[in-house]
Amino acid sequence: MPLWLESDDPSFAEAFQRFLGLKREVEEDVDQAVAAILADVERRGDAALLEYTARFDRMNIPKERLRISEEEITSAETQVPQDERRALELAAARIRAYHEKQLPRDESWQDESGATLGWRWTAVEAAGIYVPGGLASYPSSVLMNAIPARVAGVDRLVMVVPTPDGVLNPLVLLAARLAGVDEIYRVGGAQAVGALAYGTETIAAVDKITGPGNAYVAAAKRRVFGRVGIDMIAGPSEILVVADADNDTDWIACDLLSQAEHDESAQSILITDDAGFARSVERAVETRLSTLEREDIARRSWEDYGAIFVTPSLEEAARLTNIIAPEHLELCVGDPDALSSKIRNAGAIFLGAWTPEAIGDYVGGPNHVLPTSRTARFSSGLSVLDFMKRTTLARMTPASLAAVGPAAETLARSESLQAHGLSVRCRLDRINEASR
């Protein structure tokens, strides 16, 4: 049974607090193992990478086969059915179009002192994308990670994907080709993250690593952070649906289950201002659940972490939503724009009942790599900006230096940083000499 809370119940505050504190992830203590693997890859390069690949992915390959060849990719492509290829192409085009709008502008202006100020954005030179193997090997994730990097203008885009027992997912390779990935290596785990961060004889180091992975991959990303940039460390997926009573209960049930089926730690939440509607959705979920191929996973998720909150108003629903700060938020209400304007914390908002969250996973255009576990309070989904960095620019004239330099000198003195002051003073002296 999912959690059921009514927000005008006297015990609500306490129960809601408990709900917020719920841990959905077992933290595996893999940090020591990961540290050893990373150090080994840094020291021994390809040799270590090949050994770990033999051990963990049961693949004994020579280093010449680390990289997946163009021929293999082309041959994989031919195995992809036409409708899947066309669907991937549509997704890629829509994701590209959305992300192109994110390209930031450079700025430059002159202030009243005559100084020229501004900034300039540039792309990261080399980026690496981690793609999980096995069941969680999603071609849509390849598009969502690779396309923003390409749009940003990354020069060299590398992908690593483990192929346990040599099994490749043709759709993942096709997605990589459509997204414009330059190099693909059949390695995974902490060892692949180490190769991307430190470089080996075969895999040149990158500047930024993104993409989801298991506990080993997450721990490795945390450890190499600083040496290279990383994206967020993603937790289990979540959806929050705010729905009024004017909704098809089956639609809402399907939406809740589309998160629950991801994995047992996923979380689906319904907030509604109508208790009767909530009961009907609960029954609809039961009906749909028993038809699902992934019934076991979805049922575990729904029963362990699912929640239904009944509120006296949609305003109260918005207030709770902002505290939960969900990864995905559906607003299935009469005026979704009005309700959306009350939302401050959410990774992605899906407006109106005609916008199921699954559209955002594939073909909507926005990125599906989004902040989980309440981190939408302070972070954003993956974007073109994650593959760029900003350099600030300043150019003083003698006049502007004369105007603001003395204040810099004063502050340098107050911070006991004499040479800071001298670097301004020696120039001000020149200006004074010249004006004499």
By CB under 8 A, is residue 371 in contact with its own copies? Answer: yes
- Binding to its own copies (CB under 8 A) within 155-214 occurs at 171, 207-208
Of 153 and 180, CB closest to its own copies: 153
Q: Does 426 bind its own copies (CB under 8 A)?
A: yes
Q: Which stretch binds its own copies (CB under 8 A): 11-19, 51-59, 182-190, 399-407?
A: 399-407
User: CB-wise, 207 or 273, nearer to its own copies?
Assistant: 207
Q: Which of 189, 213, 306, 356 binds its own copies (CB under 8 A)?
A: 356
Among 254, 274, 303, 319, binds its own copies (CB under 8 A): 254
CA dist., res. 194 & res. 45, Å (int): 9
Asked if 433 interacts with its own copies (CB under 8 A), we say no
For residues 128-147, which are near its own copies according to CB under 8 A?
A: 135, 138-140
Catalytic residue among 327, 330, 357, 368: 327
Q: How far is the CB of 355 from its own copies (least distance, A)?
A: 4
Q: Is 340 in the site for its own copies (CB under 8 A)?
A: yes
30 contributes a contact to its own copies by CB under 8 A:
no
Q: Does 346 bind its own copies (CB under 8 A)?
A: yes
**Stretches 52-60, 67-75, 117-125, 310-318: which one binds its own copies (CB under 8 A)?**
117-125
Residue in 44, 55, 58, 430 binding its own copies, rule: CB under 8 A: 430
At 207 the three-state DSSP class reads coil
How many C-beta neighbours within 10 Å does residue 397 have? 13
**C-alpha span between 164 and 177 (Å, rounded):** 21
Residues of the chain by 3-state class (helix, strand, coil), percent to 5: 50, 15, 35
Q: Does 117 bind its own copies (CB under 8 A)?
A: yes
Residue choice 62, 414, 435, 436 for contact with its own copies (CB under 8 A): 414
By CB under 8 A, tell whether 38 contacts its own copies. no
* 79/102 Cα distance (integer angstroms): 34
Say how far apart CA 290 and CA 299 lie, in whole Å.
9
Residue 313, annotated as binding a ligand: no
| Residue 36 neighbours by CB under 8 Å, 6+ apart | none
Annotated binding residue 214: yes
Shortest spacing between CB 290 and its own copies, in angstroms? 12
Q: Which is nearer to its own copies, 47 or 411 (CB)?
A: 411
Helix (H) or strand (E) holding 176: helix 170-179
The answer to whether the annotation marks 238 as part of a ligand binding site is no
Minimum gap (Å) between residue 101 Cβ and its own copies: 6
Distance CA 131, CA 355 (A): 27
Is residue 161 within 8 Å of residue 145, measured between CB atoms?
A: no
Contacts of 409 (CB under 8 A, 6+ apart): 421, 424, 425, 428
At a CB cut-off of 8 Å and minimum separation 6, what does 198 contact? Answer: 38, 41, 42, 45, 205, 224, 227
- Residues 74-113 touching its own copies, rule: CB under 8 A, are 83-84, 86-88, 90-91, 94, 97-98, 101-102, 107, 109, 111
Burial of residue 155, with CB atoms counted within 10 A of its CB: 0-12 exposed, 13-18 middle, 19 or more buried: exposed
Select the residue interacting with its own copies from 378, 432, 433, 435 (CB under 8 A).
Answer: 378
The answer to whether 327 is a known catalytic residue is yes
Among 3, 33, 39, 404, which residue interacts with its own copies (rule: CB under 8 A)? 404
Q: Can you tell me whether residue 265 is helix, strand or coil?
A: coil
Strands 208-210 and 267-272: unpaired
For 138, the token pair is: 């999603």
What are the C-alpha distances in Å from 371 to residues 81, 288, 321, 374? 33, 28, 14, 7
Catalytic residue, candidates 99, 238, 261, 328: 328
Name residues whose C-beta falls within 8 Å of residue 256's C-beta, 6 or more positions apart in sequence. Answer: 239, 241, 268, 270, 281, 285, 302, 306
* 368 in active site: no
Q: Catalytic amino acids?
A: 327-328
Question: Residues at the annotated binding site for NAD(+)?
Answer: 130, 191, 214
Question: Residues at the annotated binding site for Zn(2+)?
Answer: 259, 262, 361, 420
